Chain A
Amino acid sequence: MKKLITTAIALMSAGLLVAACSAGDSNMSAGDSNMSKSTGENGISDNPDAWSGYQTAREGVRAMNDDDFENPVMPYVDLAANIYDSRDNKGNISCADCHGAPEDETGGRSGIPMKGVGASYPRFNADTGKPINVELQINKCREERQVEKGFKYESDEMLGMTALVNYQSRGMPVVSTAANPDDELHSAWQTGKDFYYQRRGQLDMGCNNCHEDNAENIIRAETLSQGQSNGFPTYRFKWQKPGSLHRRFRGCNKNIRAANFNYGSDEYLNLETYLAWRGRGLPVEAPAVRK
């Protein structure tokens, strides 16, 4: 009997039984194929061909993605929720003091709500003249207001905080106008686009060779996605923990035997800006779960 139970649990951890048990009680049905499609404002999208990796994910993965309890990023979100409310820092101020509760749409004292952040970043940072993403914005706040050292990229705290913030925008369409020549982010967008189509590394491949030319085709045992960024930070089974978009970039660069760049580097910020535009209209799925 003992052996039987152990086997059953092993299966559950692998997410096999999970799919069978929970398909019924998730809010977003796994069969709803519109879930991962671009919608845009008023349901009209200028980017109708975009789709996220959710579309090609297996049923069990989708079930983990959709059920906020099973989603393995949620313990990180719980951890971040404690940090969000904590005044335990040199500035003696919590995130909630300025922004209100994470789900507060008025944004508390500062009038900057967390809802919508995940859908609209990266934004232009006038101080540096460069794009700024959610991770760097969190650290900017932490350094300026809380007078503490910023969280390390890829630390549990940082992953939790970005997941917590992006989670508030779940389902909202990604907004980006960076392609507009008048937009402040336009030059970053252009550099990011050049990066995207630039062949690099020993395998001499650009991002587009996989994610445009061969999206939906099989690479080894995996289905290639369009490489959209709307689900990050994403839990990957391979990582067995959530990871940031820049970790994914580094993995991609490594796979094509190219030199990778640092977390939060200008190259990746520009690329992130381009990817946000490329996936405009897609619903924010963060924190997503993928194979």
Chain B
Amino acid sequence: MAVKPPRVKVPKKATKGDLVNIKTLISHKMETGNRKDKKGEKIPRLILNKFEVKFNGAEVFSADIYTAVSANPYIAFFHKAEASGTFNFTWTDDKGKSVAISADMAVS
């Protein structure tokens, strides 16, 4: 399967003190581990279990994700703009494989 890049929406510019809305969307099956295949055998769990956001190296948001989260998780949060810098978004799945993307924001 070809890899679909995750999407993040970060405003390019923000005024100091603003609350900016950061949105993220990633394509993932989020296989719960509770389903069975046609032979009646369990399909192993494969979900994204960790989502982390770092801003200039410091963690600003993170989440432990469990099986109740549906496929293609959409996660949004607010961030108070204080300084210019780079957001690094990382999703990690059950096999330890991670996908990362970064986005810049300039604060004036």
Q: Which residues of A contact B (CB under 8 A)?
A: 2, 5-6, 9-10, 12-15, 17-18, 21, 69-70, 72, 74-76, 78-79, 156-157, 160, 240-241
Contacts and interface: CB of A to CB of B under 8 A. Distances in A.
Given A9-B65, A78-B7, A240-B70, A156 B1 contact: yes
Interface in B67-104: 68-76
A70 B25 CA distance: 7
21 contacts: A5-B63, A6-B64, A6-B66, A6-B68, A9-B63, A9-B65, A12-B74, A13-B69, A13-B72, A17-B76, A18-B76, A70-B25, A72-B25, A72-B74, A74-B25, A75-B4, A75-B5, A75-B6, A75-B26, A78-B4, A79-B2
Contacts of A17: 76
B40 to A, nearest CB: 22
A159 to B, nearest CB: 10
B23 interface: yes
A69 B7 contact: yes
Given A6-B64, A72-B27, A78 B5 contact: yes
Contacts of B68: 6, 10
B21 interface: yes
A69 B65 contact: no
Nearest to A67: B23
Contact of A75 (B23, B27, B75): B27
A157 B2 contact: yes
A196 to B, nearest CB: 33
Contacts of B74: 12-13, 15, 18, 70, 72
Contacts of A2: 64
B13 interface: no
A161 B5 CA distance: 15
A276 B67 CA distance: 40
Interface string B1-36: 111111101000000000001010111010000000
Q: Nearest 4 A-B pairs (CB), nearest first? A: A240-B71, A75-B4, A75-B27, A79-B4
Nearest to A239: B71
Nearest to B27: A75
Name the prevailing secondary structure of the B interface residues.
loop
Name the prevailing secondary structure of the A interface residues.
helix
Contacts of A10: 66, 68-69
A20 B69 CA distance: 19
Contacts of A6: 63-66, 68
Q: Which of B5, B70, B72, B74 is most buried by chain A, counting CB atoms within 10 A of its CB?
A: B74
Given A69-B9, A78-B4, A13 B73 contact: yes
A78 B5 CA distance: 7
B43 to A, nearest CB: 14
Nearest to A14: B70
B68 to A, nearest CB: 5
Contacts of A18: 74, 76
Given A75-B5, A76-B27, A21 B70 contact: no
A21 B76 CA distance: 9
Nearest to B29: A240
Contacts of A241: 71-72
Contacts of A70: 23, 25, 74
Contacts of B27: 72, 75-76
Nearest to B78: A21
A202 B32 CA distance: 34
Nearest to A240: B71
